[in-house]
Amino acid sequence: MFLDKYIALLISRGIHSPKELATILSISERDMRIKLSEMEEKGLIECNTKGFWIFKKVVCRLKDKGLELAEEVKKELEERRKKLEERLVSSDDRIRNQVIQQLIDQEPELVHIIPLMLWLNVIPATLIPALLLNELLLNRHVLEDTDIDNGYLI
């Protein structure tokens, strides 16, 4: 369910292809296709093939349940933004770096959520120290969704 909500949010923001979704969330395209088919079975999205022959591409759109999920995630990201800003606004880069590392240790999924929040313009890039931002965006870990509600392998 961890990836489902972020995929739903990205689709609601106009990212419809499995390749783009996989790139943004740092997972393989194969795993993304598997996740999209699971979401389709749950009734969250609908994926269609458009075009013909070598110009075929898969385009996904949200169903009603998926739209509700995307709205919930928007609220969740707003809450996370508030928490991040509270902890980071008043400190300098060295302290910010330590605070973010502590937050990532507490919630490993932040490694993927912070770049997603930056990509969606939920938080300003100036809030994240430059060296850590570089590490998060360029050296991102590949996320493996284990479908365990209590934790995910990173």
pLDDT digits (tens, 9 = 90+) for 36-53: 999 999 999 999 988 888
User: Does 106 reside within a domain?
Assistant: yes
Which residue from 72, 71, 87, 70 is spatially nearest to 123, judged by alpha carbons? 87
Distance CA 103, CA 99 (A): 6
Residue 46 is assigned to a structural domain of this protein: yes
Q: How many Cα atoms within 13 Å fall on the side-chain side of residue 143?
A: 25
Is there a domain that residue 7 lies in?
yes
> Is 12 in a helix, a strand, or coil?
helix
Domain extent for 51 = 2-67
Q: Same domain, yes or no, for 17 and 43?
A: yes
Reported as a pLDDT band with limits 50, 70 and 90, residue 152 is very low
Over range 127-152, report the average pLDDT. Answer: 55
In a domain? residue 91: yes
Shared domain for 88 and 134, answered yes or no, is: yes
Confidence band, pLDDT 50/70/90 cuts, at residue 86: confident
139 pLDDT exceeds 70? no
The pair of structure tokens assigned to 106 is: 């507490």
Distance, in Å, from the CA atom of 100 to the CA atom of 80, rounded to the nearest integer, reads 12
